[in-house]
Chains A and B, each alone.
Chain A
Amino acid sequence: MVTRAQEGYISSDNTSKNLLLLTNKINKAIIRIKSEQELFAEICKLTVEVGNHAVCWIGQPDKENKKFNAIAHYNATKEDEYQLGSRKYDPNGPTATVIRTGKFYLTNNFKDEVWDEELRNYLWQKGFRSYLALPISKQGKVEYTLNLYSGNVNFFSDEQIQFLEGISDDISYAIDNIENEKQKTIAHDQLREISSLLQRTESATKTGSWKVNFATGAAYCSDETFRIYGIPPNSINPNYNDWAKQIHPEDKEAVIAIDNESRKKLRDTIKEYRIINPDGTLKYVQTHAHYELDTNGQPIGMYGLVRDITAETEAEAALAQSEKNLRLMVDLIPQSIFIKDLNGNFIYANKSYCDLYGKTVEEINNSNWSNVTSAHVDRDKIINHDNEIIRSGTSKKMIDFPFTDHSGKERYFDVIKTPFQLPGKTMAILCILNEITERKHTDILKSELLNDLTERNKNLEQFSYIISHNLRAPLANILGICKLLTHAENRKENTEIFLEDLTLSAEKLDNIVRDLSTIMQAKQSSLPKEAIRLDQIVADVKHSLENMDDFHRMEIKHDFGHAQEIYSVKSFIFSIFHNLIANSIKYSRPDIAPILEIRSRHTKNGCEIIFSDNGTGIDMAVNGSKLFGLYNRFDTSKEGSGIGLYIVKTQVEALHGQIEVSSEVNVGTTFKINIKQ
């Protein structure tokens, strides 16, 4: 069997010349090659081709996987590679020992080796006889081994080893350099990235930076600083006076004063002022300046920022203007508007609202609702209402809300309240009051007018009815008789028959005209009032009714103990008593002794007079609604004009009173009159 060792691994002796050549070539490679991996590959190649070694590989321990990886090799078969490198890691093996100790490992004849019988056998079988492992360090720590094999026994002489150790040191130095270069490149890249990031940040935030060294006078300004001042970056070597030139004339004195002051005390400053760029553009800037001090507290330089705040300053000014405009509008509208927090503190109130209290906007805005609101307002109700709005999160209305303003004037409002979110999560109440006082007054007037018109219309209808029937009835009879008498036939006889009727009809007509006159008078207001003794009125009425049928049967009792006297219109009171007493007499029952009781008492607003009889009574279910109507008579068996109760009602109402009736057939009737005084 022909082995590789037998074929060609038998190296010629390595002469000094050879070793010098190898060192020379490796050094050139070190200078030329900038990558660790490439360098390792080249070293393996040179060691075999120039250094006459049979196989060369560079290994690195892989502690995690307990392996020793061949990261570069030359002239090794796949099997060699496996057997030499990727075998199980032996912590006491030659490579591990080199890594641990940092010293070379030498075998000049595998026959004498004992460390790994299997590997030794393999190597022997393959024709390898000598082996040298050298340490390669990275950043002062042994990280790799350079492994050299030869087919010759005793291949590695002392001189040989000395050269190879030198080479291994060179390689260590080289890979340190490569690593340093790499780190430098990374650092440089990072620096460039940071610098670019800073530039982008400065540009995006419109913030420039600057620095001055007092010792050297060197000043640095970032590109953004130049841009803010409208100067091409680095086109000038800037100094304080250059910057100061651009400060707006109106701001210049103040800015320089601050700077001078800060210089004395070495105090940091933050300033906002206007600058004018060379092209005339006005800008607002904010500058930060800090002193850099040495260990003795002496200034050695300054650094700082300059920020272009033109956009935000203008936005703020625009917002302030917009708020001012809004305020102006809200103060001009007639509705009252305010916002108060849950403790009742005013957050906002417009002029119209403040006017309700006769206070200025400033006075209201610094006060609490409960301290200014009208004494007439039901506070608890309002507070409950407010809480309900916040709880439910919905708007609520209050219609016809009464309010007494600072001048004592009673006013009415439709109020709408809605939850209002203040900055943050705090809730408040927004309230808008729409004044409806005028409308309310107009409504009342309208309603009064409508009632008045309705009443007048009713009266007109009534009047039309009276003319149609009651006034025309006697008139028609008179006309009928006259026509009859104009007829020649039986004239004398008819004249006798109808003469009395003619008189009666004329009297009837006269009575109706008198009744109407009484009613018209009652409708006229402001008749003179006087103190009236009720017992005197009863006596007068009784006297006037003396000739009536049944008058003497009737017992009239009265009890005015509680209200002997009233203050009213005497003719009306007489007429009311007259009509009601006459009615009681007229409608008394023949089967029992008729009694009428009249009582009076004081009420909250005036006086109540009650007439109570035991007469025939009225069927209220049938006639109740027509009882006080004009010319309504229910009992055809009795004489009557049907006007009495109508007059009573008209007169009671003229005295701002009310009349009520309760009655039962064959039991009696009670009239209750309430008169205001």
Chain B
Amino acid sequence: MPILKKLILIDDDPLCIKIIQVISKSIMPDLDIHIFTEPRQGLDHLLNITTEDDARHVVLLDLNMPQLSGWDILKALESRKEIIMQNCSLYIISTSLESNDRSLAAGNPMVSGFFEKPITRLNLQHILQ
């Protein structure tokens, strides 16, 4: 099993990122965290992951973002589905209470899970280990 290399956070809410950061550091102090509050930049980063990159990445993707939503990013990644699934564990994080969002997430093979905000210590422990 490849070792966990980095945590990629794509969310336009800086406070939410700050909370995840604080909790993550307390669980795994030397974790490499990449933060994207601009969804476009986050997508570009994910598109650049290659097969040679044999580390396991954890991606936390927010749904409700201006210009490019979480769903838009997943759509854009469709062509590189195999690489993402091989190298990443991708989780949706959202404030959404709509069951529709959950079933959409469950139907996408790239998505490993759906977490409702706020993300708790328990959630992150589960994700990171």
Contacts and interface: CB of A to CB of B under 8 A. Distances in A.
A473 to B, nearest CB: 5
Nearest to A483: B120
Contacts, number: 72
B92 to A, nearest CB: 13
B66 A477 contact: no
A635 B67 CA distance: 8
Interface of B: 12-13, 15-16, 18-19, 22-23, 26, 37-38, 64-67, 94-98, 116-121
A484 B19 contact: yes
Contacts of B23: 484
A477 B38 contact: no
B12 A636 contact: yes
Interface of A: 464, 467-469, 472-473, 475-477, 479-481, 483-484, 487, 489-490, 494, 497-498, 501, 504-505, 632-636, 642
Given A472-B97, A484-B19, A636-B66, A479 B118 contact: yes
B19 A481 contact: yes
A480 B19 contact: yes
Contacts of A477: 13, 15-16, 19, 117-118
Contacts of A633: 66
Given A477-B15, A501-B15, A469 B66 contact: no
Contacts of A632: 66
Nearest to A472: B95
Contacts of A498: 18-19
B-side binding surface: helix, strand, loop or mixed? loop
A479 B121 CA distance: 12
Given A480-B19, A484-B19, A632-B66, A473 B120 contact: no
Contacts of A473: 13, 16, 64, 95, 117
Most chain A C-beta atoms within 10 Å of own C-beta, residue among B12, B15, B118, B121: B15
Contact of B95 (A476, A487, A505, A642): A476
Contact of B18 (A468, A501, A636): A501
A504 B14 CA distance: 12
A90 to B, nearest CB: 135
A271 B26 CA distance: 129
A240 B87 CA distance: 133
B96 to A, nearest CB: 5
A502 to B, nearest CB: 9
A636 B120 CA distance: 27
Contacts of B64: 468-469, 473
A489 B94 CA distance: 26
A475 B15 CA distance: 11
25 contacts: A468-B64, A469-B64, A469-B95, A473-B16, A476-B116, A476-B117, A476-B118, A477-B13, A477-B16, A477-B19, A480-B19, A481-B19, A481-B118, A483-B118, A484-B19, A484-B22, A484-B23, A489-B26, A490-B26, A497-B22, A501-B15, A505-B15, A632-B66, A636-B37, A636-B66
Contacts of B95: 468-469, 472-473, 475-476
B67 A634 contact: yes
Contacts of A480: 16, 19, 117-120
Contacts of B116: 476
Contacts of B98: 464, 468
Nearest 5 CB-CB pairs, A to B? A480-B118, A476-B117, A472-B95, A633-B66, A480-B19
A89 to B, nearest CB: 130
Contacts of A497: 18, 22
A488 to B, nearest CB: 11
Nearest to B38: A636
Contacts of A490: 26
A346 B37 CA distance: 82
A487 B19 contact: no
A281 to B, nearest CB: 92
B70 to A, nearest CB: 11
Contacts of B117: 472-473, 476-477, 480
Nearest to B65: A636
B97 A468 contact: yes
Contact of B66 (A472, A483, A487, A642): A642
B3 to A, nearest CB: 25
B105 to A, nearest CB: 14
A467 B38 CA distance: 23
B72 to A, nearest CB: 12
A483 B121 contact: yes
Contacts of A489: 26
A475 to B, nearest CB: 8
Contacts of A464: 98
Contacts of A635: 66
Nearest to B40: A636
Contact of A468 (B96, B119, B120): B96
B93 to A, nearest CB: 10
A505 B13 CA distance: 11
Contacts of A505: 15
Nearest to A622: B67
A626 to B, nearest CB: 10
Contacts of B13: 473, 477
A479 B94 CA distance: 14
A212 to B, nearest CB: 111
Contacts of A472: 95-97, 117
